[in-house]
């Protein structure tokens, strides 16, 4: 057999999906599995989207422009204006999900061997996107004891080398739910300008803020017109992950022209997804108010329940719908597999994502798991009981 590429060897498996065979095996034995491993909400997609797709009667499903349908980009321009982010239509490129937006941003700005500094734990697929671009992820570790706040700027600066090209953040964060303050972002802004770096910001969870928190976009940081790149997506905002529509946004015209060449090579983003996303722009505010309130309740059920389990530490997220919990175990990969393969409580068990896959520093996160509170409140309460009983049994067996 011919040899595969180095990138194929370097491409990491998803820590979110790698335990799927074990969950499927558990289900085949009649065990109910609570899926807290993946950010797939059970919230209904807005009615305006479903109605629009039912009415869609196009005779030909055509390509769109490579940068996305003009009407949708104009709609996005209005959406961002409502969030006090002033943009030109040319600052917006529609992509196949937020994932492609970040891949295009990396491919347009990074050369093989370039480095990107990312506070960890971070969304595991950032590793894969960096591999695609031939770049190296350089982690700066955020601490659970600080609630995963932005690490000291001195920690970032100590990692900067001649190969450093940018800093990537997710705000509010997946997997921690931490929301960076304007002051923290301004510290990053000053560092980026000092070393002439790009600042990539994944802001796909902007709608999910709690206790009255208001997000601050990197696009509103003064002086970063040529440096800031924002990644966005409809997936979680409107609970339509399968639409696969995102956006890459920057006021750097040279960068956007470069990204468009990658967009032309893949032809165009999905037409059906853009139709759905255009309809989603008419989603009433009440939808978001209701969803945020539901997530607050779910968060409290899960996080408060976790913190009542002996030996468990879980900071309360300020945004998104994820949390990282530290458990009284040594190896979360083994524990998460054991929960699916060897344990059930009243015919139920829990699927989690081992947090080691959300760190780039070897050996980090081995006693942590990421959980997504995307299930209804009753299921979350049951999942907490399963996890509590599972931990008792796991530790009693001497693991």
pLDDT digit string (tens) for the chain, length 399 residues: 899 999 999 998 776 677 999 999 999 999 999 999 988 888 999 999 999 999 999 999 999 999 999 999 999 999 999 999 999 999 999 999 999 999 999 999 999 999 999 999 999 999 999 999 999 999 999 999 999 999 999 999 999 999 999 999 999 999 999 999 999 999 999 999 999 999 999 999 999 999 999 889 999 999 999 999 999 999 999 999 999 999 999 999 999 999 999 999 999 999 999 999 999 999 999 999 999 999 999 999 999 999 999 999 999 999 999 999 999 999 999 999 999 999 999 999 999 999 999 999 999 999 999 999 999 999 999 999 999 999 999 999 988
- Distance (Å, rounded) from C-alpha 195 to C-alpha 208? 32
What residue spans in the chain does CATH classification 3.40.640.10 cover?
Answer: 59-280
59-280 CATH? 3.40.640.10
Q: How far apart are CA 223 and CA 220, in angstroms?
A: 9
Strands 348-351 and 322-326: unpaired
Beta bridge partners of 33: 349
Residue 255: CA count within 13 A, CB half-sphere: 26
Is the previous residue joined to 170 through a cis bond, with omega within 30 degrees of 0? no
User: Distances from the Cα of 344 to the Cαs of 28, 138, 348, in angstroms?
Assistant: 13, 39, 5
Q: Give 198: exposed, middle or buried? Use CB within 10 Å, 0-12, 13-18, 19+.
A: buried
Run of H or E residues at 31: none
In terms of Cα–Cα distance, which of 262, 189, 260 is closest to 226? Answer: 189
Please spell the DSSP secondary structure of 310-330, one letter per residue. TT-B-PPPSBTTEEEEE-S-S
Q: What is the pLDDT of residues 239-290, one digit of tens each?
A: 999 999 999 999 999 999 999 999 999 999 999 999 999 999 999 999 999 9
* Bridge-based pairing state of the strands 368-372 and 353-354: antiparallel
Handedness of CA 244, 245, 250, 252 (dihedral sign): positive
Instruction: Specify which residues 322 forms β-bridges with.
Output: 372
Spatial distance between the Cα atoms of 376 and 44, rounded to a whole number of angstroms: 12
Q: How many of the other CB atoms lie within 10 Å of CB of 233?
A: 27
The total of other beta-carbon atoms located within 10 Å of residue 109's CB is 22
Instruction: With CA atoms as reference, report the closest residue to 165 among 130, 107, 117.
Output: 117
**Beta-carbon-side half-sphere exposure of residue 102 (alpha carbons within 13 Å):** 28
Residues pairing with 368 in the sheet: 326
Q: Cα 395 to the chain's mean position, in Å?
A: 31
Question: What tokens appear for 62 in the block?
Answer: 């055509």
Beta bridge partners of 164: 115
What burial letters (b/e) apply to 276-291, b meaning 16+ CB within 10 Å?
Answer: bbbbbbebeeebeeeb
C-alpha distance from residue 397 to each of 26, 338, 389 (Å): 20, 12, 13
Residue 35, strand partner residues: 351
- For the chain, percent helix, then strand, then coil, each to nearest 5? 45, 15, 40
Rg (CA), the chain: 21
Sign of CA dihedral 266, 272, 274, 280: negative
In this structure, whether the domain defined by 6-44+286-396 belongs to CATH 3.90.1150.10 is answered with yes
* Residue 323, phi then psi, degrees to nearest 5: -145, 155
Distances (CA, A) of 96 to 103, 245, 340: 10, 5, 33
What is the C-alpha separation between 94 and 250, in angstroms, rounded? 12
pLDDT in tens, 1-56: 899 999 999 998 776 677 999 999 999 999 999 999 988 888 999 999 999 999 99
In this structure, how many other beta carbons lie within 10 angstroms of the beta carbon of residue 345?
A: 18
Beta pairing, strands 198-202 & 228-233? parallel
């Amino acid at each position: 057999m011919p040899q595969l590429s180095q990138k194929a060897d370097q491409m990491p498996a998803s820590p979110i999906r790698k335990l799927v065979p074990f969950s499927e095996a558990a289900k085949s034995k009649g065990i109910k599995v609570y899926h807290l491993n993946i950010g797939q909400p059970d919230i209904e997609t807005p009615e305006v989207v479903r109605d629009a797709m039912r009415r869609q009667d196009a005779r030909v499903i055509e390509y769109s422009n490579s940068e996305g349908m003009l009407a949708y980009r104009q709609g996005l321009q209005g959406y961002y204006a409502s969030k006090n982010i002033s943009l030109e239509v040319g600052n917006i490129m529609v992509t196949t999900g937020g994932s492609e937006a970040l891949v295009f941003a990396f491919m347009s700005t990074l050369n093989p061997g370039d480095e990107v500094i990312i506070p960890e734990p971070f969304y595991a697929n950032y590793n894969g996107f960096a591999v695609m671009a031939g770049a190296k992820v350089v982690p700066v570790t955020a601490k659970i004891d600080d609630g995963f706040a932005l690490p000291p700027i001195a920690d970032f600066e100590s990692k900067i080398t001649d190969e450093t090209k940018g800093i990537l953040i997710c705000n509010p964060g997946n997997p921690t739910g931490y929301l960076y303050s304007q002051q923290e972002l301004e510290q990053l802004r000053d560092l980026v300008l000092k070393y002439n770096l790009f600042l990539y910001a994944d802001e796909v969870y902007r709608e999910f803020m709690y206790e009255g928190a208001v997000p601050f976009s990197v696009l509103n940081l003064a002086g970063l017109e040529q440096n800031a790149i924002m990644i966005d997506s409809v997936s979680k905002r409107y609970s339509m992950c399968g639409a696969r529509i995102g956006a890459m946004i920057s006021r750097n015209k040279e960068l956007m022209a470069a990204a468009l060449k990658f967009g032309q090579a893949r032809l165009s983003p999905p037409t059906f997804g853009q139709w759905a996303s255009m309809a989603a722009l008419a989603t009433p505010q009440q939808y978001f108010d209701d969803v945020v309130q539901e997530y607050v309740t779910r968060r409290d059920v899960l996080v408060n329940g976790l913190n009542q389990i002996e030996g468990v530490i879980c900071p309360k997220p300020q945004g998104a719908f994820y949390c990282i919990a530290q458990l009284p175990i040594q190896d979360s990969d083994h524990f998460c597999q054991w929960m699916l393969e060897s344990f059930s409580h009243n015919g139920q068990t829990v699927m989690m994502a081992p947090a080691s896959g959300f760190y780039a520093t070897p050996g980090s996160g081995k006693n942590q798991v990421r959980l997504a509170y995307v299930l209804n409140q009753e299921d979350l309460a049951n999942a907490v009981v399963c996890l509590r009983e599972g931990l008792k049994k796991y530790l009693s067996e001497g693991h």
